Every structure is written in C-alpha cells, then in structure tokens.
Structure 1
C-alpha cells in the first residue's frame, strides 16, 4: 500500500473517544486524523487525557474537514455495525471484515480514508451511500454495536501489517528441531514404555499417537532436548525401581547368609 490511510471521525460526541482513536492510530503507525464537526478538544481535557503519546502529534495535528471533502478526495471505507442487507440492497452490502479489508487495501494505489461515525447512531444511510466500501466487525448478534474508540482500535489493529514496519515484539521465527533429535525422542519414548511394562496391545497405537502429536507441534531443538531429558529421568527411575523390586524378591527367597532357605526353616 503506497499511501498511509487517513482516519476520519464524523461528528464524535465524546472527546474521550477522539483521544482513544488518536492513541490507537499512534499504536498502529497512523498519523493523519481528520475530524468532521468534532467536539471541543481542550489541551487539558478528556481527549488529550485519553490520547497518551498521541497528544504530542496525532491529536494536535488533526484537521477539521467536511464529509464532502473526504468523499471527493479519498477512496472511502465506512465502518458500521449494521449490515443486515443482502445482494438486493447495496447500501450496507457487500461488506468486509477488518481482516479482509487489510487484504483488499494492500494492492490499492490510492489515498484511502477509514471513516467512523457517531457513538450512538453511527454513519447515516445517506452518508453510507456515498462511501466506496463497507467494513464491519464480527460481533455477537445479540449486541453487535461497539464503542466508537473500541471499534476504531480493532480496525486499525487489523491494518497493522500495512502501516507498521516493525513492532516491539521479538522475532519469533520458529526453527523445528532436527529430525535426528526428534527420532531420538521417539526411540527414548519406546524405551520409556518398556520400562513401565506398557500394554503390548496398545503400544503401537500409543507410539503412533505420540509421533502425530510431536509432528503437529513442530518442537524446537530446545523443547525436544528438554523432553528427552524428562524421558531419560523417568526411565532411569523406573529402572531403579525395578532393580529394587528384584532385590526385594530375591531377599524373600534367600536367607541372611545368602543360602536358599530350607523347607523346614
């Protein structure tokens, strides 16, 4: 995506929601906030209190615009909770989810505006009719309407791959353990089953289940090494217990001097 999306808030009633949206923009790499008929945004008021570090740039640099200006100059995406229409009525249909929106915007070479409406009433039908796309967050059918600030945060989060070059999270590239180590684990698992005298009829199935489990999990080298250590220790303990049992059985069969007890002792 060659152009950073702008975020548009239409007639927000609560300064705190404007501040929350500014903060979400800062979180997810956006900076251009445009407000249609906004409430008063005092520097020591609720909006700046909710904005976090966005009070330093996103919020004070927000532009006041008209709805008509946005429609005339941007590819527009209207965000709404109400999508109860079908292919015969196109005011709020078809729609995309925020995750799907990220995919569609990735290849668009155009300035895009993500448009959010009022807290209580959202975007009016006549406004929706002028927008190019509709986006809606999947939510409970019993109560699909989200708080304005929450809705904006969810949508901007889903767009993060288009707007954030690098996050604070460390690299989590997964390196699967070497097959030799994984096969060694399976061998030790078989030895572990031997040590506990596992049911022969169930052995083959159990080994196969373990192989499927490990195969799906793609363990790292460290993980498989740790599991090997656990199996070795458990197997050693089982072997030691078996040795003790054998010595105990032997002591029952022989006297203190090592000679087998006679029948009349």
Structure 2
C-alpha cells in the first residue's frame, strides 16, 4: 500500500521543507500540499538532501483533489473525542493502532493510504475531519499536547513505514476508492431522507456510518452490493407507499 502525506494549508515553508525531509527519512514519496505558501529558499534549505521530494510535491487547491483515488483517508488531530457529543473526533486511533489496523493491507489489498495533517495553529476543521475514514491522535502530555507539524509527521510515518513493505502471497484485492465510497454515502443520505430519518440525528449517523465503513476496508464489489441492497429496499418502500 502506498502512503500519501498531505499537508492542509501549512503556514510555514520551513515546516514544508522539514516534512519533505521526514518523508525521505522513512522511504516514502507521495507528498501533497493543499493551498501552501510560496515555497522558496527556506524550505529548500531545511529539506536538505530531500530536495527531490520537495520538488516533486503535488500542489492542489482542495482536500478532495489531494485524496483522489485513495482507499483509506486518515485525518490527524491533537484533540480527540471524549464523549458522544464530540463524535466528529471519535473513535480515534494512535499511530501504532493505525499501523495494526492496516498491517496486512500492504500486500493483500492495493491502493493508497492518505494521511491528512492540519494547519500548524488550528489543525483540521471539523468539516475536513468528516471527509476521513479514520481519525488519528498521537498520545502526548496533557501539559502540552500540540506537536510541531514535522514532528507529528515523523511519528506517524515511523509507525507506518513498516506497513509499506508488508507483503503476502495472496491475490490482490482492490479496495473501494474515495469516489466509490462517496457515492455510497450519498446513496445512504438519500435513503435516510426517504425513510424520514430524524434531521437532527442525520449528520451524526452519516458520520458514524462513514467511520464504520472506512474501518471495514470495503472493496469496490462490496460497495456495489451495499448499494444494490439499498436500491432493493427503496423499491420495496415505493411498492408499500403505492
């Protein structure tokens, strides 16, 4: 499984250079920047011998562009959910738990695992975390839980670097990509509307379903099967109403 490191609206070009260096340290390559500042001499200086990673980075205008064709999207946060009212940041995984979660994916299933890292000052917004299958939180001291951006990337990539090279002799299974899963979520939302699901519960329920299905590592065929079940249910509901 390929790893894709995505920085969302980073403020400092020095941090961009430092992250490029970390990416090369752990043998990764995929590097995406969402609306970054101008990249100049400072970033190149910090990147040092990882200048090639910096030069090859993809600059995009939205998270949706950055995660395109990914099969799993993980968003990082320093503020994890501790109650049902903080559902957007729940459930959360430590980097090691994320590694354990995807341990066998490297060889048994193909695709890209995208890791989103937020702004240095405010992190990822709630609506951005809602695009993620998995939320990752690095265990740190409560006295000062917010890490430097490049340090956070280093911790996560250290844990995931071994997953990259895991292989098995089984046949490759293609996981559903972001577009496949988004069509399923839109279908689920439409279905909830059709059955008169309570509006005040809909957002939380859809996010819960997104996280459940994200952890399930669905294949494209499984997504199509689930949508087929929804269509059958919609037809039956239509028959009853008519």
1:206-229 Cα shifts (integer Å, max 9, x gaps): xxxxxxxxxxxxxxxxxxxxxxxx
**Mapped partners of 2:57, 2:32: distance in 1:** 5
What residue number does 1:49 align with?
45
What residue number does 2:163 align with?
162
Mean CA deviation greater in 106-115 or 148-157: 106-115
1:25-50 Cα shifts (integer Å, max 9, x gaps): 100010110000011112xx111111
TM-score (norm 1): 0.57
**Mapped partners of 2:66, 2:39: distance in 1:** 21
Please tell me whether the aligned partners of residues 80 and 137 of structure 2 are also in contact (alpha carbons under 8 angstroms).
Answer: yes
What residue number does 1:64 align with?
59
**Mapped partners of 1:7, 1:28: distance in 2:** 12
What residue number does 1:103 align with?
100
What residue number does 2:179 align with?
none
Query: Within 5 A, what are the aligned runs for 1:202-217?
Result: none
Please tell me whether the aligned partners of residues 10 and 36 of structure 1 are also in contact (alpha carbons under 8 angstroms).
Answer: yes
Unmatched 5+ residue regions in structure 2? 167-242
TM-score (norm 2): 0.63
Deviation (angstroms), 1:150: 0.9
Aligned residue pair count: 160
Deviation (angstroms), 1:136: 0.8
Please tell me whether the aligned partners of residues 10 and 38 of structure 1 are also in contact (alpha carbons under 8 angstroms).
Answer: yes
Deviation (angstroms), 1:69: 1.9
Please tell me whether the aligned partners of residues 29 and 163 of structure 1 are also in contact (alpha carbons under 8 angstroms).
Answer: no
Please tell me whether the aligned partners of residues 74 and 116 of structure 2 are also in contact (alpha carbons under 8 angstroms).
Answer: yes
What residue number does 2:150 align with?
149
**Mapped partners of 1:118, 1:90: distance in 2:** 21
SS at match of 1:90: helix
Deviation (angstroms), 1:52: 2.1
Aligned Cα RMSD in Å? 1.6
SS at match of 1:50: helix
Query: Within 5 A, what are the aligned runs for 1:107-146?
Result: 107-108=104-105, 109=109, 110-146=111-147
SS at match of 1:23: helix
**Mapped partners of 2:84, 2:158: distance in 1:** 29
**Higher fraction of helix:** 2
Higher radius of gyration, 1 or 2: 1
Unmatched 5+ residue regions in structure 1? 166-265
Deviation (angstroms), 1:85: 2.8
What residue number does 2:22 align with?
24
Deviation (angstroms), 1:88: 5.4
SS at match of 1:22: helix
**Mapped partners of 1:48, 1:5: distance in 2:** 22
Question: Residues 16 and 119 of structure 1: is their aligned pair in 2 closer, same or farther, counting only changes over 3 Å?
Answer: same
Mean CA deviation greater in 66-75 or 96-105: 66-75
**Mapped partners of 1:90, 1:113: distance in 2:** 21
What residue number does 1:182 align with?
none
